[in-house]
Amino acid sequence: MADLLSRREWGRLVAAGLAGAPFTALSTGKLDSTIKGVALGSQSYSFRDRPTIDGVIEGLTAAGLSRCELWQGHIETREAIDAPRGSSRREMLRKWRLTVPMTVFTDIREKFRRAGITLTAYNISFTDGFTDEEIARGFDMAATLGVKVITSSSNISTVKRIDPIAQKRKIPVGFHNHSDLKPNEFATAENFATALAGTSKWMAINLDVGHFTAAGGDALAYLDAHHDRIVSLHVKDWAKAEKDFVPFGTGEAPVAAVLRRLRDRKWKIPVNLEYEYKGSDTIAEVRKCYDYCRDALLKP
């Protein structure tokens, strides 16, 4: 998953009218995107062109998905996110996180509940710039949302500060990998091993199959070896030739194989598809991603 959108990027989307119409009504049919025992959902980042919670719910419903891993960018104050990058923006976000009423998260939880969509995780990226108080507040947010897992694009050096808070709150944190081989960030199996060495069971893995493939890793083999510590899977496809994310089934990431492994071994790990390739209509593309995953699970 990419970092938060810049002010300019977000502004272009909103100005273009891509924010989505206000949420009004949902299908009367009950959503259920469990296929052959595999719980499929979406990271709300897939709907980053819809900056409101109502827009996310509309998108998930239209795509037929009954689960969501909620990205922090769909909650955090627009005033702070839209501020110029730098210390002032960072301080505004910190102030918001430390003072926002928990009723904001209660209301969000209820919106998803009424829509029949299960929140499986809250994605808040605890980096080195977070204070311990901010990290603890992130756990408050997750608990109020009613999720049992936090996912985080964190720094390796932050893990040791997160661990004691997670032990106290009894909420696992799954660390998310990216494809850039940068110091102090998660990308490879070795990065995970280094970060999790000597930590408690509450320090876990949010394996991104697409990014892991792009970084040269074997996502299926890693799943086999570490499934007991993986609390969330992100699936998307990657093509080496294009050096970019591509429509599901057209690249080298073992998306179908990973899904079938979960099905066949009955590993109960939530799967969140991520629409990150260049496409057209977001809902149509998310539906294509879902259809690919569903079809892969229905095949032997």
Q: Over 80: is that where the pLDDT of 32 sits? A: yes
DSSP assignment of 47-92, as one string? GTT--SHHHHHHHHHHHT--EEEEEGGGTS-HHHHTSPTTHHHHHH
Q: What is the pLDDT of residues 111-130, one digit of tens each?
A: 999 999 999 999 999 999 99
203 and 163 Cβ atoms separated by less than 8 Å: yes
Q: What is the pLDDT of residues 125-172, one digit of tens each?
A: 999 999 999 999 999 999 999 999 999 999 999 999 999 999 999 999
Task: Please give the pLDDT value at position 88.
Answer: 80
Task: Please give the pLDDT value at position 78.
Answer: 66
Task: Please give the pLDDT value at position 89.
Answer: 79
Q: Count, in order, helices (H) and strands (E) of the chain.
A: 12, 11
Question: Which pTM was predicted?
Answer: 0.88
Task: Please give the pLDDT value at position 24.
Answer: 30
Dist. CA 139–CA 162, nearest whole Å: 10
pLDDT band with cut points at 50, 70 and 90 for residue 85: low
Task: Please give the pLDDT value at position 82.
Answer: 65
Mean pLDDT calculated for residue range 211-229: 98
How many C-alpha atoms does 55 have within 13 Å on its Cβ side?
19
How many C-alpha atoms does 38 have within 13 Å on its Cβ side?
26
Q: Over 80: is that where the pLDDT of 223 sits? A: yes
Q: Over 80: is that where the pLDDT of 21 sits? A: no
Dist. CA 141–CA 139, nearest whole Å: 5
Q: Pairing state of beta strands 203-208 and 67-71?
A: unpaired
Mean pLDDT calculated for residue range 200-224: 98
Q: What is the pLDDT of residues 242-291, one digit of tens each?
A: 999 999 999 999 999 999 999 999 999 999 999 999 998 999 999 999 99
DSSP 31: P
Q: Pairing state of beta strands 271-273 and 38-43?
A: parallel
Q: Where are the alpha helices (DSSP H) in 100-170?
A: 103-115, 132-145, 159-169
DSSP 46: G
Q: 239 - beta bridge partners?
A: 244
Q: What does the mean pLDDT of the chain come to?
A: 90
Other CB atoms within 10 A of residue 55 CB: 21
Q: What is the pLDDT of residues 40-59, one digit of tens each?
A: 999 999 999 998 999 999 99
CATH superfamily of 7-15+35-298: Divalent-metal-dependent TIM barrel enzymes (3.20.20.150)
pLDDT band with cut points at 50, 70 and 90 for residue 25: very low
Dist. CA 68–CA 291, nearest whole Å: 16
What's CA 253's distance to the chain center, in Å? 18
Other CB atoms within 10 A of residue 247 CB: 17
Q: Where are the domains of the chain?
A: 7-15+35-298
Dist. CA 51–CA 135, nearest whole Å: 24
